[in-house]
Amino acid sequence: MIHRDYTELGSEVHIDIFDDRLVIYSPGGMFDGSFIQDRDLDDVSSKRRNPILADVFAQLNFMEKRGSGLRKICNETSKLPGFTESKEPRFRSQASSFYTELPNNNYQAEKSDSANEPVNEPVKLSLLQKDLLENIRLNARITRVELVERLNVSLITVKRTIAQLKELGLLERVGSDKSGHWTVRDSKERKA
């Protein structure tokens, strides 16, 4: 709430809960423009995008004023039962987004005795991701604005969904934003 970028109109903080992890998405990347995955967490200075909100929350005792959030998340997580290094919190940022992923220390994947199962599990897509891909399959030159209108979602939601599909290797932009087109890949054709 305090660190998000309120200039991103139509955007909102998302908390996605999965069996094996909790993912928090916040609009707005690092305040200084760097990427958190390229930084040493012990060397991240405290810069506030919304200092008035930070002061109000500090006065209400909803947050600490000194900016120790990332380190505190890591330290407190390491004290949880079942913690291993593979279950450390993960932080990732882009120019206009910040993701915090907290693995579930209690989650244990089901083990299978079958040696014939595929190495890569099939990708499970959300309804929005499926709808977006279907619209692109029907019109490879569709614009983000047209997707907003057809899917009845915000532009930031379309951009975020496109980024997720690109990361999964299911969607690729060929050429420029103005004259290019989209290429949809089947999950079997995904880039490794």
Domain ranges of the chain: 14-103, 127-186
Q: What are phi and psi of 148, to 5 degrees?
A: -60, -45
Q: Which helix (H) or strand (E) holds 25?
A: strand 21-27
pLDDT digits (tens, 9 = 90+) for 58-81: 788 877 656 667 778 888 888 888
State which amino acid sits at residue 58: A
Overall fold of domain 127-186: Arc Repressor Mutant, subunit A (1.10.10)
pLDDT band of residue 191 (cuts 50, 70, 90) is: very low
State which amino acid sits at residue 40: D
Give me the residues paired with residue 98 across strands: 26, 93
| pLDDT value of residue 113 | 52
Residue 181 clears pLDDT 70, i.e. is over it: yes
| pLDDT value of residue 56 | 85
pLDDT digits (tens, 9 = 90+) for 38-53: 777 777 777 777 778 7
pLDDT digits (tens, 9 = 90+) for 141-161: 999 999 999 888 899 999 999
Quick count: other Cβ atoms within 10 Å of Cβ 144?
A: 11
Among positive and negative, which fits the CA dihedral 66, 71, 76, 77?
A: positive
User: Exposure of 91 by Cβ count < 10 A (0-12 exposed, 13-18 middle, 19+ buried)?
Assistant: buried
| pLDDT value of residue 62 | 79
Please give the Cα distance from 71 to 147 (Å, whole number).
Answer: 39
Please give the Cα distance from 10 to 23 (Å, whole number).
Answer: 20
CB contact set of 171 (below 8 Å; sequence gap of 6+): 133, 136, 162, 165, 182, 183, 184, 185
Residue 192 clears pLDDT 60, i.e. is over it: no
Three-state SS at 21: strand
* Region 158-180 average pLDDT: 88
pLDDT digits (tens, 9 = 90+) for 85-142: 888 888 888 888 888 899 888 877 665 555 555 555 566 888 889 899 999 999 999 9
- pTM of the prediction? 0.51
Please give the Cα distance from 155 to 148 (Å, whole number).
Answer: 6
| pLDDT value of residue 160 | 92
pLDDT digits (tens, 9 = 90+) for 15-40: 889 888 899 888 887 777 778 887 77
| pLDDT value of residue 162 | 92
| pLDDT value of residue 122 | 61
